[in-house]
Amino acid sequence: MSAVILLAVMGITAGAALRYFHLHLKEQRAGHQVILAQGVAESGLEKAVAMLRVNPAYTGEENTPLGEGRFTVSVAPGKAEGNFRLRATATWGDASAHPRPASLNAWLRLDAAGKVLDYGLVEERR
């Protein structure tokens, strides 16, 4: 009888350990996807800067594929001529896996010839 109880306790312990490791791995994978999505969002911002340098009327694009990710970038004019506010959101991985999005905001200032005078990321407040 004590062998059956011991076997049951070991089975419950093993099941709990497997569940813990499965959840931990799932969290790690989600965190890794967010990091990869941030890279895709940065690429979206870089593309927006390049497009604005040749076409100041560029307003952004939606759902653009890049590797295993996708990004959307929007461009809004700033208060002064040649100033822009940029926002990029991106995901990495299969959409059916409910990837977590990453978002980045930036500002850009160009001269009349399209030369970048100033560019930077906006700090996110949490």
Return the H-helix or E-strand segment holding 81: none
Q: pLDDT, tens digit, for every residue of 39-52?
A: 999 999 999 999 99
More confident residue, 19 or 97: 19
For β-strands 102-110 and 83-92, DSSP reports them as antiparallel
Domains and CATH numbers, the chain: 2-121 (3.30.1300)
Q: pLDDT, tens digit, for every residue of 55-88?
A: 999 999 999 999 999 999 999 999 999 999 999 9
What Å distances lie between residue 77 and 10, 80, 109, 110, 119, CA to CA?
Answer: 64, 8, 10, 11, 14
Is the per-residue pLDDT at 90 higher than 90? yes
Stated pTM of the model: 0.75
Is the per-residue pLDDT at 94 higher than 80? no
Q: What percent of the chain has pLDDT over 90?
A: 56
How is residue 10 written in tokens?
């070991």
First to last CA, the chain: 56
Q: Which of 5-9, 28-32, 41-45 has the lowest mean pLDDT?
A: 28-32
